[in-house]
Amino acid sequence: MKMRSNLPRIAICFIFSILPALHATTLARLSLDQLAGAADAVARVRCAGAESRWEGGSIWTITTFDVVDAIKGNLAPRIVVRLPGGKVGAVTATVDGAPKFTAGEEVIIFLERSRADGYSIAGWVEGTFRIALDPGTHRETVTQDSSGLAVFDTASRAFRTEGMRKIPMELFRAKVASAIARAGERAR
């Protein structure tokens, strides 16, 4: 009598049970100081448009921004940011944590030079801050893209939903300036 092993079935069940987890992205919470230290430049920009295309077997989105105000670093009047994911024809590649932009919107982004020409965004949604007009005060506020996401806090070793939300622009700019100054001091 020949005994059949359940090992192949168990292996297949294990593989299918972990497949959903393989698609997940875990972001670690980055402080403003960490973002400022990692960034080659920080700028208020206006999205001029985005285009997704195939590169090396993956879909990438190339977004063009007009620089409204360079907060850190020297930037050309128009910059290109390259991030993974996007839609080409009927194929959509979604990458958790990669921000998306709409033509005409203004954001503040922390930029890192990419290996390809152009930039990437430090910490992706962590380094992306949306600008809105507060209807009550008619003043600009800033909200971090990651403020609504559960992000891993390395200090407490737990997932937390936090981040900057509806910070008045003047206060945000002061916080960024202080973080940039501290990053510059540490680099010396």
Give tens-digit pLDDT for 2-39: 444 443 333 333 333 333 333 455 566 788 999 999 99
In this predicted structure, what is the pLDDT of residue 187? 74
Top-ranked range on mean pLDDT: pick from 32-46, 111-125, 153-167? 32-46
Cα–Cα distance for residue pair 131/164, rounded to 1 Å: 12
Is the pLDDT assigned to residue 92 strictly greater than 90?
A: yes
73-82, 127-136, 145-154: segment of lowest average pLDDT: 145-154
Task: Kindly report whether the global pTM for this prediction surpasses the value 0.85.
Answer: no
Of residues 94 and 184, more confidently modeled: 94
State the SS3 of 51-65.
Answer: EEEEECCEEEEEEEE
Q: Which residues lie across from 69 on neighbouring strands?
A: 44
Contacts of 41 (CB under 8 A, 6+ apart): 70, 72, 73, 74, 75, 110, 111, 119
Is the pLDDT assigned to residue 97 strictly greater than 80?
A: yes
Q: Which residues lie across from 44 on neighbouring strands?
A: 69, 108
Which CATH number applies to 25-187: 2.30.30.180, 3.40.50.880, 2.40.50.120, 3.30.565.10?
Answer: 2.40.50.120
Domain regions of the chain by residue span: 25-187
Percent of the chain whose pLDDT exceeds 90: 66
Average pLDDT for residues 66-82, to the nearest whole number?
97
Percent of the chain whose pLDDT exceeds 70: 85
Cβ–Cβ under 8 Å, residues 36 and 110 = yes
Cα–Cα distance for residue pair 100/59, rounded to 1 Å: 14
- Give the model's confidence band at 116: pLDDT under 50 very low, under 70 low, under 90 confident, else very high: confident
In this predicted structure, what is the pLDDT of residue 154? 79
